[in-house]
Amino acid sequence: MELSINYSDIVKVYRMEQTYVMVKPDGVQRGLVGKIISRIERRGLKIISLKMNVIKEATAKEHYSEHETTSFFTSLVKFVISGPSISMVVAGKDAIMVMRTIAGATNPVDAAPGTIRGDFSLDIGRNIIHASDSTDAAAREIAIHFKDSEIWEYSKIDEVCIYE
């Protein structure tokens, strides 16, 4: 007798948190995009939108507006618009916290081995990745970089293995 499983019948509807992730121009230039995406997916998170572009200056300033009064704001904006980057919306249970853990400490000197920053960067000004740090920041950053029509909700077949 053949066992047939209809996964659409057993997949629960999970409340998936969304977060914004950017592979910065240094990560793109160094050919790390595939390794970073692999880490995100291996952890069990899913990418529900992804695009490559050179961010416009006005968009970069809006994205980093909380740093507007800092000494590094101008150099940060200049760097982020210096070449192509990858923008993603990543979803999963506790996606914001999980993505921040995968990324590692903002200053790569403090980032643990096994994290993206801990494995691939040495300088805070070239730290490979941005990941939203709160639900408010995630919602704001997703809205800056994506239209609602660019975000895809779907179920992955392995969700039954990842979530209880």
Residues annotated as part of the active site: 130
For the sheet containing 129-131, what is the strand order? 46-53, 85-92, 17-23, 129-131
Q: Which two tokens stand for residue 75?
A: 């150099």
**Strand, helix or coil for residue 162:** helix
Query: Contact 19/131 with Cβ under 8 angstroms?
Result: yes
Contacts of 2 (CB under 8 A, 6+ apart): none
Quote the CA–CA distance of 30 and 120 in Å, as a whole number: 9
